[in-house]
Amino acid sequence: EPEVTQTPSHQVTQMGQEVILRCVPISNHLYFYWYRQILGQKVEFLVSFYNNEISEKSEIFDDQFSVERPDGSNFTLKIRSTKLEDSAMYFCASSPGGELFFGEGSRLTVL
């Protein structure tokens, strides 16, 4: 069964460092998303991506964040200068239109 894969599963970084989280969506899906979940809190929308451009983004997705689909398979989330409050689980999701299918997540710890 096709699945969304994410790397790394866990990354520890120092405050102010750049981080890139990678995702390989399901191959025939057209819509791609990043969500985050701070420990003990709800799943929060960050950004959606369709037709090689950002479709919608939340207030959380400020200038420190960017997304890219550099080739036909990868979908990346970059955080330019991490803050302590960026510590969270980051989930990538893809969709053919309708249901979202999630990867296992990348846990980011900012020290």
Partner 1 sequence: RKEVEQDPGPFNVPEGATVAFNCTYSNSASQSFFWYRQDCRKEPKLLMSVYSSGNEDGRFTAQLNRASQYISLLIRDSKLSDSATYLCVVPTGTYKYIFGTGTRLKVLA
Nearer to partner 1 (CB atom), residue 47 or residue 110: 47
Q: How far is the CB of 89 from partner 1 (least distance, A)?
A: 7
What is the three-class DSSP state of 103? coil
Q: How far is the CB of 16 from partner 1 (least distance, A)?
A: 26
CB 49 within 8 A of CB 103: no
Half-sphere exposure at residue 62, Cβ-oriented, CA atoms within 13 angstroms: 7
How far is 103 from 98, CA to CA, in rounded Å? 16
Q: What angle do CA 28, 26, 13 make, to 5 degrees?
A: 145
How far is 95 from 27, CA to CA, in rounded Å? 10
Nearer to partner 1 (CB atom), residue 18 or residue 86: 86
Q: How far is the CB of 43 from partner 1 (least distance, A)?
A: 4
Q: How far is the CB of 84 from partner 1 (least distance, A)?
A: 20
Nearer to partner 1 (CB atom), residue 35 or residue 75: 35
Site residues for partner 1 per CB under 8 A: 31, 33, 35, 41-45, 48, 50, 55-56, 58, 89, 91, 97-105
Nearer to partner 1 (CB atom), residue 35 or residue 65: 35
